[in-house]
Each structure stands twice: as structure tokens, then as C-alpha cells.
Amino acid sequence: MSRWMRLGLPVAAVVLALVFSGVVATLVLLFTGDDVVGFWRVLFTWPSERDLVDIINMTAILYLSGAAAAIGFRMNLFNIGVEGQYRLAGLFAGAFAAQGLLPGKLNVAAAILVAMAVGALWAGIAGVLRVWRGVSEVISTIMLNAIAGSLIGFLLVKWGESTGNARNTKMMPEDSWTGFFRLFPDVSDGAYHLSLLAPLVGIAFFILVYYTRFGFDLRAAGASESAAVSSGVSVKKMIVVSMLLSGAVAGLIGVPMMFSEAHQYGSAFQTGLGFTGIAVALLGRNHPMGIAFGALIFAFLGQQANLLNILAGVSPDIVNMTQGIIVLSVVIAFEVIRRLATRIEQRQVATQLDAERQGDTALKGASA
Amino acid sequence: MSAPVASTAPVTTPSSQWQRRLRVRNLTLIAIVGFALLSLVRVITGAQELTSAGTIQAALTSSIPIAMAGLGGLWSERAGIVNIGLEGMMILGTFGAGYFGYHYGSIAGILGAIVLGMIGGLLHGIATVYFGVDHIVSGVAINIIALGAAGFLAETYFTGLEGGGPTQSPPLPAPMTINVDFLDNPLASIEAKQWFFVSDFAGLLRVFVNDLPVLTILCLALFVLTFWVLWRTKFGLRLRSCGEEPAAAESLGVNVYNYKMIAVVISGGLSGLGGAFLAMVASSGFQVGQTGGRGYIGLAAMIFGNWRPGGLLLGSGLFGYTQALPLRREATVSIHALLLLVAILLLLVAAYQLWRKNTLQAVSGAVFGAAFLVWYLSTDVVPSDFTKMAPYVTTLLVLALASQRLRMPKADGLVYRRGSAG
Amino acid sequence: GKTSSEKDNNASGSSSVDVCKGSKGEPKVGVAYDVGGRGDQSFNDSAYRGLEKAVKDLGASCIEAKATTSDNDSIREQRLQTLADQGFNPVIAVGFLYSPAAAKVAKANPNTNFAVIDGYSTTIATDAKNLSDLVFAENEGSYLVGVAAALTSKSKHVGFIGGTHGDLIKKFEAGYVAGVKSIDPKIKIDIQYLTEDPSDAATGFENPAGGKQAATAMYQGGADVVYHAAGKSGLGLFEAAVAAGEGKWAIGVDSDQYLTAAKDQQPHILTSMLKRIDTAVFEFVTAFKEGKVQSGFVNYDLKVDGVGYSTSGGFVDPIKAQIDAAADKIKSGEVKVPEKP
Amino acid sequence: MTKDLQAVPAIELRGIGKRFPGVIANHDIDITITSGTIHALVGENGAGKSTLMKILYGVQKPDSGTIAVNGHQVSLSSPSDAIAIGVGMVFQHFMLADNFTVLENVVLGAEKIAGIGDDARNRIRQISDDYGFDLDPDDLVEDLGVGERQRVEILKVLYRGAKIIILDEPTAVLVPQEVDALFDNLRELKDQGHTLIFISHKLDEVLSVADDITVIRKGTTVASVKPAEVNARQLAELMVGSVLPSPSTEGSTVTDKVLLEVIDLELDDATGRPELVDIDFAIHAGEILGIAGVEGNGQTELVETIIGMRRQARGTIMLAGEEISEWSTRRRRETGVGYIPEDRHRHGLLLDAPLWENRILGHQTRPPSVKGPFLNPPGAKADTGRIVSAYDVRTPGITTTARALSGGNQQKFIVGREMSSDPILLIASHPTRGVDVGAQAAIWGHIKRARKAGLAVLLISADLDELIGLSDTIKVILRGKLVATFDPQSVTPQQLGSAMTGADAISEERS
Ligand SMILES: Nc1ncnc2c1ncn2[C@@H]1O[C@H](COP(=O)(O)OP(=O)(O)OP(=O)(O)O)[C@@H](O)[C@H]1O
Ligand SMILES: Nc1ncnc2c1ncn2[C@@H]1O[C@H](COP(=O)(O)OP(=O)(O)OP(=O)(O)O)[C@@H](O)[C@H]1O
Ligand SMILES: [Mg+2]
Ligand SMILES: [Mg+2]
């Protein structure tokens, strides 16, 4: 298959899926008698500089979440627990940073490690239950999410402190606050310093998966567990390790925003990112580059959706629904082109073999 | 993501004997023994709420939506389609109940819920059966779509209605309930005696003579019906064959795609019915976010029940019970009493494993059992902060104990393409 | 959508008429709701009623924006900022979650006035002149309904259902418990929160099924008056009271829930703890119109009728005197109602 | 057999054509099958036999041509259509649901005949008794052996009252004695008026049982012969148009150096049941040890234990003087164990990955695939190129996915890969299964060459000719035990077959 097709087909598929989803959304809006024009106008208005900053930040955060889910997917593990992992990790990182045990940015670095460790640990429970007791990680991570929620509540009540009606961890020392990269002179905030974690994770993910022995084992085990086992991969180890990695990356999700904005864990800490990350990973086909694309689309749509009911009187839920349709139609489109590509490739193989065989027969015919 | 089987089910393949052992009679036995143990714990600990009629009623109410989602999962997974979209189909069901129930009465609400759930199932079926999309991916997408759609439609159709709003339907008419008044009082007096087992059983019976919603009966009847259809009819045999060995089924003239589609659409309808129960019986109206993950728990209950209706019923009962108990009075005491139950169960398992000469399992069972016993003896209550974790911790514990005995349909989660026979 | 405005005419509940659609005039009030949104029949609806009054009495116009469970500070900021950008002034944010966002946006938009219901934003932007936190003495209001509960209970057994187990709702609990105990320290009080997860609004505040189960358990256990501070989950309490039958009472919260309850529920709604968000909103808009906005914390306590109890249905008429006496003691400072349980 | 029946052929296929994307599986097929006969189809791998039969059974629709059954033209759009007119098919691979009982497997799709209850059960017992199948309708299929499963397949067809029965390579997994029993069944069926279509690669079988033989080459019918008129060699030449190669042992290259030594090896399954009992053997450098056995007697388990995928309960495995019993699979492979798995799709390849990534599989810790902890794509690609040309893997390039290759080419690639890092031990399970004659000869050549260079080979095969032709020693495995040792120079397939079934006595009774 030509290089052009290899790259072109997926892009075409995504575009087609996006268009299709847009059509469905339009039809729904027409059916309910909503303001279709307003909907599209709001969606396609170029975001303000301030909104662009938000989109960039959200892209970084969703990237982390998508990457966390994707690491599991790569190993055929369905880590629904990203949600619980990053919340718990955020709590511990916030609480740790608030102690100010280390000076300045060292404290930040240590808190990041704490976040990764807690995320990994929480995910690791599911991994260990899977290899040790055969408990499906789909179920165990759902349970662990719920348990994490209660646990967070308990810990906050027990050791947190109150600000107004909100309950938070202690504010971290100011020298541990991270700032913003100012992107526009007129916008006071910019990209969170720690949003750099996203490209770092992306690069690490890319190298790990595609350029290391470990990554090869991971992909092999994900593509065919039986083949991987025969090739010497210890699937149990891979399950636990990829769960730990997935959890460690999940632990990072809440970190950029917390260190740049709230400087504490509490009511401002955003929830629901773990679930969005799953969709982002699926949209990006679990590929480091694809996830970036998926994160951008979701961040953009999320940001614009927030304006919908103010500017067009349309419920932002229509955008949530459309996001789901995008995911479904993109995977359908990918499946269709995958079949198409396989067919094209097999045809090529067959043509070549035929040509060779014909050559053989011709030779034999000549010699006979 | 080509082989989701590995991710949704235990890897082990136990002997076929376990299959046959887990049949109806044994399940009944398990249920009775479990209930007796519970009664024993109640007597020992004095935590009366453990088996009060109220608790059992609440547990039943909590169980039914889970059970219906699980039954939906059972239908679709028996035909080989993993359905993690149950949650979404249930959400569609709650909306359907809200919309049709408000406008056209409770029967229409139930039917509407079923139909909307079926639409979710249809979508899942088209994606997985015809397009060969990974089952879990499709299920996740359907959950997102359903959540968004229900929110959007609710805002569109319920805003401005009396008692309704952008995130909720107006109050819905309550579906019928059944009362057998003359039995209630005698049963209540027996229950009040606090005798071992007898009183508990009377409490259990009271649930069925006291404001028993007709919908509950219907849902329970569906279990019997499911068992009969799937295991006793030609249709069921064909449907199950699609989940075990679709190529063989196709080679014998079974239209695999059709059966898978039918199964997954029925699956959606059942989840939708679970949604209707939530919106109309468990509360009296549609709410955004009302399902609260019950679809997922239904899936867990189904796995726990080894892909069989009886086991599923047991599993749903367990989850419903552990969900209901923390909302009862003196939950901190009741949940504390459960520690004793867990300890007893673990020690029993340990003894059984010892008898089977599985030393490692026996030892780990005994260690955990002893730990729970110590926990029970050294405390008086479980802090309320932890009672809400009970259903989830129980699920994990139970699955950790039971997962390796489970056997899912062989082709569950695998994409089947027409013409693969031979 | 369009459908909602079409149905405006035949809707009778005051909370459901869409007053912002088509409203024109000054001031242009922007409102950002908390999770749950308008239609919750308590918290958000109370804000809406204030808005409605402002439109009707002051000729104001308005726009509403809704929140989702997965909002973050940036999204909230964007919401408030967009309202300001659209020329809305003042902008009212409902719910303390808006505090950090409002603090930021207020600084960036010095010419727009912002208010946060239940907020603590002015502890963040301490010197902002255009920022107000409208806060309530929920504990005092809860104390009064606690008194009502204690006086009404025949079984000497009452209950409280909270949404999420956070500081705000604990304030309700504390006041209620103190009120009950002030009448009879021996009264048994069942306390139940629907979730321990502070972020799980769905289980805490949007879960009538859970509210119903918790309430049913309390009624079955002998409680005969149950008070809720659980948003929409409280609707389950009313259903449970109906199912529990004659002599079982429920107490509403935030708004006068007797008015929005179904007919069969009304005979069971003893009273409601009023948290006059409507008053606060209306007064804030009025003050804005008159150019007399007070920045910083604005306290709505019993003294200024910021909290109270409702008398619809007339069930508390026989004990009104005692409740009012308790209120007087609080106003006079003789009784100090605790904020924490 | 009446004259009338013979006058109307059971099946007439005229001008059948079928193409798949890029492949012409069938074209201009013309076959006439006389009623009440056993008609054999022979042809190379991929010649289009199975495709043709699937067309006849309604699984696939032909692009062109006509089918007439008993003189009536038919159009078959699904297996039900075929079943309805009395055509039944036993597929190349078992089509049985393991978790169903025999009864459920049989009645599936044919519930109309006798329901799914006791009537059906009796009917199955009846058929089972009539043909001596010895099957209990309530047994779970997963508890049955290969031979029994084969009989369930035939029972399925008979249950539906099929008069025309297609058997696609029914003997591939059977030992000689089972084959004989099967043929007895077939002849009995023929005597009762059934028409049988029979596909096999084993030409002597074909010659012994068939009444007519049709040869298919490259998708079309090239000859129709009577068994009396041809011998196996001529038949093979018709199939391939070239001379039939066969493995012939050359001079022994066995040395004194023991490379693999297995001592008292035992393996238990999850429930503690023994799967391997008391296994003892040694393989020297330059030696090929062949293991013969009926499928399912522990071959797979033996291989998986030696490669480290399963852990022995007792016993020792020594490789080149070192004990490796507790080593991981990876470590064993690093030490120089090559592995040609019996199921290449499940254990040998990442089907959707390009060939060069498949080159890395199983060698992901060794050069040229890796450098330190990193992959070395250029190295892997270069070596893939070498394998493709050295082993004559027919592929457009090394970035082609493994799935796109035909089975034979996939197998050649695997052999090339496993030979590439100079293994000291090669474990070869069915190295030429499903591979056509040309490729088969090439693979044998490679194995022999490596042996000469001092490689030790553990060869598992169902093809007794292959075992006899390649091995220096043959051991027979039965129910997890090594029960006999033969010298390939002197042993006959019949002797091997007897040992494999553990029933020398029985085979004598029969003959
Ligand atoms: N479903 C399919 N899609 C694409 N190509 C196919 C399909 N089935 C078969 N083919 C092609 O048709 C050719 C004939 O295949 P078929 O299975 O009929 O061969 P066969 O004669 O039965 O070979 P064997 O002896 O290996 O069983 C194969 O080479 C293959 O390329
Ligand atoms: N069911 C199928 N769907 C799609 N392609 C198929 C199918 N079956 C076979 N093919 C394709 O047909 C080609 C050859 O298949 P096949 O493995 O039957 O070839 P073969 O030469 O007969 O090999 P073998 O010797 O293993 O039978 C390959 O390109 C394969 O991918
Ligand atoms: Mg083939
Ligand atoms: Mg074939």
C-alpha cells in the first residue's frame, strides 16, 4: 500500500466521521426545533485569545488522560479507573506539596512523583487482582473509582481545611506554585507550566511504545497474547507493569492545573477527566500523535460548548452527545478502512504471486 | 484492541463440572445458606436492620435495576456481544420512562423506556455486528452518546413543564403495586419476635405482600422467561451458539448476524426496562445522572453470576443489598456486623480449600478471615465515612474469591464476520 | 430549546416559566447556575425566583448559563467572562464553586459587578470593589426547622438527610440538631448523607431514589419528621413521606417546597427552611440599579430575614409562637447556633 | 444401486467461478458426481477445493456457473438451502461448540426434525448405534477426543438426513487406525445410498477409498480419473505438474554432545491431573528426535513445558549442560531455542504487524533486532530482507503485514526467522502442516542443513512420512507418556500407528 494511502485513508476517515457527526447533530437540532444556525456559528467562531489559552491547557490535560487510558488499551487492558486514580493522586500530591518539606520547585518535582506513585498504586490494585485472581479490570477499576471517591471524602474531612464552604487540602507554599507561559500579551494567564508534562509524556510514550523492547512486548501482548507468550513475554508481568504505567500517567492529570491555579486539592479540582480520556484515546487510536489530535478536538468542543447556552440558547449536552457520535463513527470509519486496506494489500500480494507463477509456468512450458 | 476478551474476563478455563454444579438447585441452596448466615449474624450482633423487612425491600428496589441491566448483559453476551453500553441504554430508558410516562401514562412509560433502550442496543449491534467495531469501544461511545442525548432531550422537553426542569421530568404516575393486607400483620408479628431465621424469613415475605410493585414481579418473571427461552428453546440454543461458536452456527444455517442483533436489541430493551424501574418505581421521575453506574454494576453482577440467570439474580441481590444497607438506619452498626459475616465466609472458604488440599488458598483465606474477625472484634462500628464503600469493596472481594471459577461464552467479545464458516 | 418557550403559557409553577426569554431592559443580569441547574425546586430555583422578581419589578433583562459536573475553574471563568463580554452586568454566580473563578474574572472586569451565592471569592480577591459574596446563615434557619421538627415529632425521633458530606451541608445539620436538642435533648436524630465523595453531586444532590431509600429507612425506624439538605434528592424524601403515610412529615429546604410539591405530597410538608437566595439576588440587582452595591461578604442571617422558615399549608401554625420565640433568641444573640456538628 | 440413480448424477457443477479480492479461487470448474459413490477431490494447498465445497454447501456464493443437485438446478444462498436439499458438510476444521453437549451441537439448526429434547436424544442414540459411533448425546464436546469429535461432525450431517456428504480433509488429524474406522463408516454410508465427496492430501487414502477422483489445480478442474488408472505419484504430478519430493534421510550427523536432556519430567493441569508422566529423553547435536502421537496426547504440553510456557510439576530440563527448569521462556529462547509453533496464527505471528516487526517477535532481546533496551528497526529490516530471499518468502515487501501472506509463505518466514539466530535447539511442531509440496521440500531442506551444522531438533508431526523421513529417532507419545522408541530406518507407518493408539492388539484383531 502506498504511503499516501497509509496516511490519507485515516485522515479521510476522521474527516468523514466528523462531517457525519455534524450532520447527525444538525438533524437532532432541527428535530427539536433548536437554533441550528446559532449552534454552528458558536461552534465555528474562532475562540478568543483567552479561550485559546484554555483550549491549550485543556488539550494538555486531556492528552495526559488519553495517554493514561491508551497505555492500558495497548495491552488490551481497559483501565476505566483513570478517574479514581487521578483524583486520589491529586489529593496526595496536593497534601504532600502543602507540607513544604522541600524547597521550591524541588517540592513540585517530589509532589509529581507522589502523584505518579499514588496513581500507579491505585491502578496496580486492579492489575494485581487481574493476574492473581483473574478479576476483570473493567469491573475492578469501576469499583476502585467509587472507593476512591469515598476515600477522598474521608481524608478531606479528616485532614483537610475549610475555605468558606469548600473543603481543601492546605494551600501549598508559594514558592511551590507554578506559573503560566504567557501566550498572548492581553491575557494574564497562559499555558500552565506543568502542561509541559503532556508533550513529555507523549514523547516518552512514543519512544517507549515504538522504540523499546518493552514497547514491543507491550504491543505484541496487546495484538496477540498467545503469540507474545510464545515469544517469551510474561503476560502477567506486562499486565501489572502496564497498569502501573497507566496509573502513573493518570496521576499526572490533575497536576498542571492544581499547581498553577488552585494550589491546593479541593472543590476546584476537576472531575470527569478520566472518562473523557477514554474517549480521547479511542479517537486517537491509542497512538501518541492521534491522542493529541483527539485531545484537541475534545478540548475545543468542550470550550465552545460552554458558550452554547449563553450565545445560542442550545443545551451544551448536544455537544457531549456529538462527541460520543464522533467516537463511534470514527471507529466505524477506521474499521471500514482497515478492511479496505487489508483487501488492497492482499490483492497486491496475490497479483505479485500470480505474476511470479505465470513466470514459472511460462518457463516450464518453454522447457517442456 | 483486537481481542477484548482478555480484558473482560478471567483467563482461566475451569472444568465443565463447575458449570453443571452451579445449577438452579445449588443456587437456591446458596441463597438459603447465605440468608441463614445473615440471620445468624443478626442474632449474634443484634444488628436488626440486617434483615428487616425494610432493608430487604430497599435491597430489592436497589437490585432490580442492576438485575435488569445484568439480564441485558446476559442476553447480549450469550450471543457473543460484550455490552458495556448497558449504562447508556439504561440512561435512554430513564429518559423514555420520563417522557412517555409523563405524556401517556405508566404503561407507555415502560414501553417507551424499553423502546429507547432497544435503540441503544440497535446502535451497538450495528457497530459491532455489521461493522466489526471492538465491542468495548462501541459500548463506551454509546454511553457517551446516551448521556448527552438524555441531557439534551431533557432540557428540550422537560423545561417549563410543571414540576419538571432542564434536568428532570415532572413527577411520573406511580405504577401499580400489590398488597396482601391480611398476611402483613401476622408476618410483622413474627418478624418482631427476632427468632433465628424464622423472623428474618417473615421479614423477607413481608416484602412480597406489602406494596409490591407490579413492575418488580414483571422483572423477576423475565428471569424465568430468560432461562426458559435461552436454555429450553430452539431460539435460545441458536442464540447461545452464536456466543460460543458462531462459525459452527453459521455452517448449520443459523443466521448469526440476525441472532446477534436480536440479542443485543433485547439486551438494550432490558436495560431500558431497568431504567424505567429506576425512574418510576425507585423514584418518581426522570433525573439526569439517575443511573449512577448501575449499568456497570449490572455487568459485574452478570460476570459474578457466571453468565447465568440464577447466578445473576444472586449477584444483583448481593449488590442491591450492599447498596441499600448503608442508607438504612444504624448503617455503621449493620456494616460492622457484615464484617463478621465476611470473616465467617472467608473462614468457610479456607476450610473448603484446606479440604481440597489447596494450601495456599486455604492459608490466604484464613489470614484474611482472621483479619476481618479481628477487625470485627476490636471495633464497635464502621465509621460512616466507610459504609458507602461497602458495595464496591464487597464486589471486589467476591470477585477475587470467585472469578477463577467463571466461564464466559467462548466467542464473547470476538468480532465475527459472515462467511467465516469453514 | 424552542419547545420550552412554547409551553411557557400553560406552565403554572413559578419556577418553570422562562422569564429571561424575550426580556429586555436594564440592568442586564447574567446568572450562572450551579450543578443541577434551574428546576431543582430548591437551591437554583430560589436564585431564579429572585431573578424573576428583578425582571418583573425592576424591568431587568437576564440570561442564564448552566453548569456541568465536570466543570473546572477555567470553564467557570469562561462562563462568567462570556456573560460579562456579552454586556451583562451584574453577573451572579450561584454556588460556592464559582468563588475562585469569580475572583479572577472580577479583577479582569473592574466595570462589571459580580456576586457569588454562598461564595468565598472575596477572601481570594480581597480588594476587589466589584465583587460580593452573598452568604447565608443556614444553621440559623435549620435551627428553626429543628425546633419545628422537635415540637411536631410524636415519636421523639427525627431525621436529617444531607447530600454530599461537605462543610456546607454540615452547617445545615449542625443547626438542625441544635434546634431539635433545644426543645428536648433526648430526641433521637438519624443522620444520613447520601455520599461521602465531595465531588459526587450526582449521588448527593441528584439522587431522589437514594433520598427515598434513606428517608424510608428513617420512617420505618420510627422517625416521624425528616429534614433534608440534599437538593433534588430531597424529592425522594417527599415521596417516602407519602408512602409512609399519615403523621409522617418532611421538611423542605432553600425554597418553600410546599409550593412546588405534588398535591399528594403537600399534606406531608411541614415547613421548609428558607434560604432567601431570591431575596439576596433581588436585593443585589436592586442595589446595583441604585448604584449601592456592597462589596465583600453580605450576610443573610436571621436578623435580616436572609433565612427563615415557611408556613405554607398551615401545619406549623400551632407552634409558630415557639418557633418565633427561638428566632428572637437567635436574633438577640441569646442563642448562638453552631456552624459545625 | 439402481440404474436410474446412476443416470441422474447427484451433483453437476458447471463453469463455477469464484474470485476473492485479488485471487481467483475457482474458475471454469466442471465436475459430475455420480450418485452413490465416493468422489475424491485432490489438489495443492490453495487450489480451491475448500472454496468449491463451501460454494456447494451455500456458505459462499459463486460468481458464475450452475449447480445441479439430483438433476435439478439449485441456487444456494445459505447452508440452510443446502441442508434442505440433502447436502451436508464436514469442514476442514471442527465446527463444534466446546461448551455445548453433543446433543446441542447436533440439533443446532435442525431443531425442526425432532426438537431439542428427548426425541432428539433418542434419534442421536439411534444413529450413533447404527453406525457404531459410540457417542453419548449428553457429553460435553470439550471432554471428547479428536476421533469422537470427527464422529460428532458426521453425526450432525446424518442427523439432518443428508444424502450427499462433503468431507473436507477429515483424516488430517486421525491416526491410521482411526482412518480405517472412518473409511469403514464411509463405505457403509455409500452402501446405504449416500453420495460422498472426500478431500484429502493423503493420496494413498484417496486411492484406497474413492470411486472417482477429480484433480483441481489453480482453481480449475484439470483431470478426472479412476483410482485404478493412476498411482499416487501420477496423481501428485497431476496436482502440481512437477515431481513429488519426499524427505529422505541422509547419513546420520548425530554427535555425542547432548544438547537437550529431559529427566523425569511431569506436568499437571490446573486440577492436579497429570498431563505428562515420566518423560525422559535426550537430543544430541546434529540429531532430530521425532515425536509421533495422536493429537492431544501431550505433544503440545511437552513443547510448551520445554519452551517454558508451562511449568513442570517435577523433573529437570537441561540445555547444553545447564539446568533451565526454572528459567523463563525469554531466557530459554535467548540461550538459543528456536520454536516453530504448531499454530502459526496464534503463536507464531502478529498478523496485523509488518513482516519486519514479526522478525523481532521471539527475538526481541537479541541483535540484530535490538540494541540495548531499544529496538533496532534498520537491523531488523535488513535481516527480514535476508530471510525473505533466502527462504523464498513470496511477498511484495518487508512492510507487508503477515496476514496478507498465504499460509505457506507465513510458515517459510517463521522457519527462516527461527533459524536466523543460530539456535542450538529447534522445536518444530508440524513445520509443514498445511504447506504445499514445494514449500514443504524447502523447509525440509533447511532443517536438514541446520542439523548437519550441529542443530538439535525436536520434531513433532502428524505426518508419519515426514517423521520417518527426517528423524534420527522416533518416540511415540501416548496419554502423556513416551511409550515406544523406533528406528525410522526400519519402522512402518502401521507400526507407528499401532503404538500411537496403544493398541497393537486391537489393530491385529481388526486386520
Ligand atoms: N474468504 C476468503 N477470502 C479471500 N480469499 C480466500 C478466501 N477463502 C479462500 N481464499 C483464497 O482462495 C484460495 C483457495 O482456497 P481454498 O481454501 O479453497 O483452498 P484449498 O484447496 O482448500 O486449500 P487447502 O488444501 O489448503 O485446504 C486460497 O488460496 C485463498 O487465496
Ligand atoms: N477468511 C478470509 N478472509 C480474508 N482473506 C482470507 C481468508 N482466508 C484466506 N484469506 C486470504 O487468502 C490468502 C491465502 O489464504 P490461505 O491461507 O488459504 O492460502 P493457502 O496458500 O491455501 O495457505 P495454506 O497452505 O495455509 O492453506 C491470504 O492472502 C489470506 O489472507
Ligand atoms: Mg488453504
Ligand atoms: Mg481446504
The pLDDT tens digits of the residues spanning D282-332 come to 998 889 999 988 777 888 889 999 998 888 888 888 888 888 888 888 889
Nearest CA in chain D to B250: D79
Residue of C74, C75, C168 lying closest to A165 (CB–CB): C168
CATH number of the D5-240 domain: 3.40.50.300
Q: Nearest-CA distance from C189 to chain A in Å?
A: 21
The reply to whether A317 touches chain B by the CB within 8 Å rule is: yes
Nearest CA in chain C to B177: C243
Is B112's pLDDT higher than 80? yes
The reply to whether C9 touches chain A by the CB within 8 Å rule is: no
User: Contact C120/A163, CB-based, under 8 Å?
Assistant: yes
Nearest CA in chain A to B408: A136
What pLDDT was estimated at residue B298? 92
Pairing mode of beta strands C249-254, C225-229? parallel
**Which grid cell is A141?**
477499576
The reply to whether A243 touches chain B by the CB within 8 Å rule is: no
DSSP structure string for A34-53: --HHHHHHHHHSPPPHHHHH
Residues of C in contact with A166 (CB under 8 A): 96-97, 99, 120, 166-167
* Residue identifier of the C-alpha nearest atom 22 of ligand 1: D50
Q: Count of CB contacts below 8 A, A vs B?
A: 166
The values of phi and psi at residue B23, to 5°, are: -90, 175
What pLDDT was estimated at residue B388? 84
Q: For residues B406 and B10, give the distance between their C-alpha atoms in angstroms, rounded to a whole number.
A: 7
Return the SS3 of D350: coil
User: Contact C97/A87, CB-based, under 8 Å?
Assistant: no
Least confident of A337-351, B282-296, D344-358: A337-351
Pairing mode of beta strands D370-371, C28-32? unpaired
Q: For residues A297 and A43, give the distance between their C-alpha atoms in angstroms, rounded to a whole number.
A: 12
Which distant-in-sequence residues (6+ apart) come within 8 Å of D339 by Cβ? A230, D303, D307, D333, D362, D418, D426, D427
What pLDDT was estimated at residue B422? 57
Residues 54-113 of C with CB under 8 A from B: 66, 69
Pairing mode of beta strands B212-213, B177-178? antiparallel
Q: For residues B272 and B91, give the distance between their C-alpha atoms in angstroms, rounded to a whole number.
A: 7
Same fold, D5-240 and D258-344+423-510: yes
ipTM of the complex: 0.85
| CB D48 near ligand 2, within 6 Å | no
Average pLDDT for chain A: 87
Q: What is the pLDDT of residues A304-319, one digit of tens each?
A: 888 887 888 888 889 8
Q: For residues A1 and D66, give the distance between their C-alpha atoms in angstroms, rounded to a whole number.
A: 36
Residues of A in contact with D368 (CB under 8 A): none
Q: Is the dihedral of CA C82, C85, C89, C90 positive or negative?
A: positive
The values of phi and psi at residue D253, to 5°, are: -120, 10
Q: Nearest-CA distance from A152 to chain B in Å?
A: 10
| CB D43 near ligand 2, within 6 Å | no
What pLDDT was estimated at residue C5? 38
Q: For residues C157 and C221, is the Cβ–Cβ distance under 8 A?
A: yes
The reply to whether B168 touches chain C by the CB within 8 Å rule is: yes
Beta strands in B262-391 (DSSP E): none
Q: For residues B62 and B316, give the distance between their C-alpha atoms in angstroms, rounded to a whole number.
A: 9
Strand partners for D345: none
Q: Nearest-CA distance from B382 to chain C in Å?
A: 14
Nearest to C61 by CA among C91, C16, C21, C23: C23
Q: What is the pLDDT of residues A63-115, one digit of tens each?
A: 999 999 999 998 888 888 999 999 999 999 999 998 888 888 899 999 999 99
The reply to whether A365 touches chain D by the CB within 8 Å rule is: no
What pLDDT was estimated at residue A306? 84
Residue of C3, C165, C208 lying closest to B157 (CB–CB): C3
Burial of B380 (0-12, 13-18, 19+ CB in 10 A): exposed
Cis peptide bond upstream of C90, omega within 30: yes
> Which amino acid is it at C38?
R
Is B13's pLDDT higher than 70? no
| More reliable by pLDDT, A12 or D433 | A12
| CB D47 near ligand 1, within 6 Å | yes
What pLDDT was estimated at residue B225? 95
Q: What is the pLDDT of residues D373-430, one digit of tens each?
A: 888 888 889 889 998 888 888 777 888 888 777 777 888 899 989 988 788 899 998 8
Q: Nearest-CA distance from A228 to chain D in Å?
A: 7
Reported confidence tier of residue A174, pLDDT bands at 50, 70, 90:
confident
Helix (H) or strand (E) holding D12: strand D11-20
C touches which chains (3+ CB pairs under 8 A)?
A: A, B
CATH number of the D258-344+423-510 domain: 3.40.50.300
User: Contact B389/A336, CB-based, under 8 Å?
Assistant: no
Residues 203-222 of A with CB under 8 A from D: 210-217, 219-220
Q: What is the pLDDT of residues B132-177, one digit of tens each?
A: 998 988 999 999 999 999 999 998 898 878 778 888 888 888 778 8
Is A273's pLDDT higher than 80? yes
As a whole number, mean pLDDT of residues A46-74 equals 92
CA A17 to chain centre: 19
Q: What is the pLDDT of residues B274-331, one digit of tens each?
A: 999 999 998 888 988 889 889 988 998 898 888 999 889 988 998 899 888 888 888 8
Burial of D372 (0-12, 13-18, 19+ CB in 10 A): exposed
User: Contact D375/A211, CB-based, under 8 Å?
Assistant: yes
Is D5's pLDDT higher than 80? no
| CB D434 near ligand 2, within 6 Å | yes
Domains of chain A by range and CATH?
1-34+315-348 (no CATH), 51-307 (1.10.3470)
Residue of A35, A87, A167 lying closest to C166 (CB–CB): A167
How far is ligand 1, taken at its centre, from the CA of residue D166, in Å?
17
Q: For residues C309 and C148, is the Cβ–Cβ distance under 8 A?
A: yes
Ligand nearest to the CA of A342: 2
pTM of the model: 0.87
The reply to whether A103 touches chain C by the CB within 8 Å rule is: no
Torsion angle in degrees (nearest 10) through CA of A173, A174, A179, A184: 150
Q: For residues C91 and C32, is the Cβ–Cβ distance under 8 A?
A: yes
User: Contact C78/A33, CB-based, under 8 Å?
Assistant: no
Per-residue DSSP letter, A364: H
Where do runs of H (alpha helix) occur along D163-286? 176-191, 203-209, 232-240
> Which amino acid is it at C321?
A
Give every residue of chain C whose pLDDT is below 50, as ranges: 1-16
| CB D447 near ligand 1, within 6 Å | no
Helices (H) and strands (E) in chain D, counts: 19, 22
What pLDDT was estimated at residue D243? 56
Residues of D in contact with A226 (CB under 8 A): 346-347
The reply to whether A363 touches chain D by the CB within 8 Å rule is: no
**How many CA atoms does the CB half-sphere of A249 hold within 13 Å?**
29
| CB D25 near ligand 1, within 6 Å | yes
**How many CA atoms does the CB half-sphere of C323 hold within 13 Å?**
28
| Domain locations in chain D as residue ranges | 5-240, 258-344+423-510
Distances (CA, A) of C11 to A155, B153, C43: 45, 18, 20
User: Contact A324/B148, CB-based, under 8 Å?
Assistant: yes
Reported confidence tier of residue B12, pLDDT bands at 50, 70, 90:
very low
Burial of B4 (0-12, 13-18, 19+ CB in 10 A): buried
Q: Nearest-CA distance from B418 to chain C in Å?
A: 42
How far is ligand 1, taken at its centre, from the CA of residue B255, in Å?
23
As a whole number, mean pLDDT of residues B325-341 equals 85
Nearest to A314 by CA among A40, A20, A19, A23: A40
Q: Does C touch D (3+ CB pairs < 8 Å)?
A: no
Ligand nearest to the CA of A349: 2
Q: Nearest-CA distance from B413 to chain D in Å?
A: 16
What pLDDT was estimated at residue C274? 93
Distances (CA, A) of B45 to B38, B322, B380, B391: 10, 18, 10, 20
| CB D400 near ligand 2, within 6 Å | no
Pairing mode of beta strands D38-43, D23-33? unpaired
Residues of B in contact with C214 (CB under 8 A): 327
Torsion angle in degrees (nearest 10) through CA of A50, A51, A53, A59: 170
